Amino acid sequence: MHIEVHSQISELAAQQWNAMLPSNNPFMRHEFLAGLEQTHCVCPETGWQPAHIAAYAAPDRAQLLGVMPCYVKSHSYGEYIFDWAWADAYQRHGLEYYPKLSNAVPFTPATGERILTATSADASQVELALIEHAMELVTQTNLSSFHSLFCTSQQAARFAASGLLSRHSTQFHWHNDHYATFDDFLAKMSSKKRKNIKRERRRVQEAGIQYRWLTGAELSVETAHKMYQFYARTINHYGAQSYLNREFFEYLAKHFSQQTLFLFAEHNDVIVAGGLYFRSDDTLYGRYWGANQQYHSVHFETCYYQAIDWCIEHGFQRFEAGAQGEHKLARGLEPVLTYSAHYLGDPSFQNAVSDFLQTEQQHIAHYQSVMASHSPFKVEL
């Protein structure tokens, strides 16, 4: 087996890369990651230096056995797994936490495979080789650490077997319990929560707001610019870090339209709000939203109810609405665990973080229990 590190994804064949995807996860597709690089959302200047680790059958690179998309990071922005306290601890001890190596999809808190392997390869052997090489890079290139973010539970176990520390986080996801209509979904909820959702949806309807979904050939540069405006407006409103540029939204419309969806809210034929979504074969992912006018409950309709309606209509099994957000619970999204894995090159810090994560996992377990006790769904006797 031959291992190489690539400084840009264009050095890897898109067809071979995508052939290794087991679930058609949109964010792990070659085109999505390439778009981030081509539009310079991901580059050394933004603190994301691509360092994709690839395993080949031989040095001629003819047969790709596996790949792990990685980035040398000069900060912790855009990861959604927060390690700022670890960086502060390094600094207090006179050590540098950055650069570090992150195995992740930039700016995307969505679970998926973080190591891809060819069906013809021994998956466990290839995964082990890629993980070991990443850990070696930490030592050989003076990186502080290696992190795999939002990996699957199965790959989290593989990372743990290689000596990485497991970390749990919480997100809120909607699951399709064989619903035929939105009313079927509401019928599962307690009376109070059901009435609240109906009231929020009614307010949007009474305001004269109508929705339309666009995907595939329906996407255009014009609609991409409109969606970018909503994204930028929300970022500016909250004073958040802007990770994506207008060129990336154009790229989505031109080169990634089959797995990209724009949701637009219209009032008197004028677009007043929008939501950016992506899809796999069975999951809808909500990423960003924005509005240029204030309408009661339009946020909930744009970010949750329209998405749930779409999933029911298209037979999708799951809807993921991004990071955090306890308010999602009352809208029918339930708490689930997400996973990450961490290796710190300094043994003393590895031990300290291990102790921290054990305590944190207890808090996460308690939090999940508390959230479950506040489930909006009726208790079935």
Name the residue ranges covered by the structural domains of the chain.
2-169+344-372, 177-316
pLDDT grade for 380, boundaries at 50, 70 and 90? low
- Report CA-CA distances (Å) from 244 to 12, 108, 193, 239, 347: 23, 11, 35, 14, 36
Q: What is the pLDDT of residues 298-349, one digit of tens each?
A: 999 999 999 999 999 999 999 999 987 889 999 999 999 999 999 999 999 9
In contact, 52 and 10? CB cutoff 8 Å: no
User: Given a cut of 60, is residue 381 above it in pLDDT?
Assistant: no
Domains 2-169+344-372 and 177-316 share a fold: yes
Spatial separation of the C-alpha atoms in residues 290 and 307, rounded to whole Å: 15
Q: Is 114 helix (H, G, I), strand (E, B) or coil?
A: coil
CATH 3.40.630.30 fits 177-316, yes or no: yes
Count of alpha carbons within 13 angstroms of residue 111, beta-carbon side:
22
Q: Which of 256, 295, 258 is nearest to 274 (CA)?
A: 295
| CATH number given to 2-169+344-372 | 3.40.630.30
Q: Which of 4, 39, 12, 90 is nearest to 344 (CA)?
A: 90
Token pair recorded at residue 235: 């970022």
Please state, rounded to an integer, the average pLDDT across all residues of the chain.
97
Backbone φ and ψ of 92, nearest 5°: -65, -25
Paired with 72 in beta bridges are 49, 101
Q: What is the pLDDT of residues 251-282, one digit of tens each?
A: 999 999 999 999 999 999 999 999 999 999 99
User: Given a cut of 70, is residue 250 above it in pLDDT?
Assistant: yes
Cβ atoms within 10 Å of 105's Cβ, excluding its own: 26
Give pLDDT, residue 166: 98
Token pair recorded at residue 136: 């070696």
Spatial separation of the C-alpha atoms in residues 215 and 210, rounded to whole Å: 17
pLDDT grade for 378, boundaries at 50, 70 and 90? confident
Spatial separation of the C-alpha atoms in residues 226 and 273, rounded to whole Å: 9
pTM: 0.96
Give pLDDT, residue 23: 85
User: Given a cut of 80, is residue 171 above it in pLDDT?
Assistant: yes
Q: What is the pLDDT of residues 16-71, one digit of tens each?
A: 999 999 889 999 999 999 999 999 999 999 999 999 999 999 999 999 999 999 99
The percentage of the chain sitting over the pLDDT mark of 70, rounded to a whole number, equals 99
- Report CA-CA distances (Å) from 343 to 6, 87, 187, 335: 21, 14, 46, 26
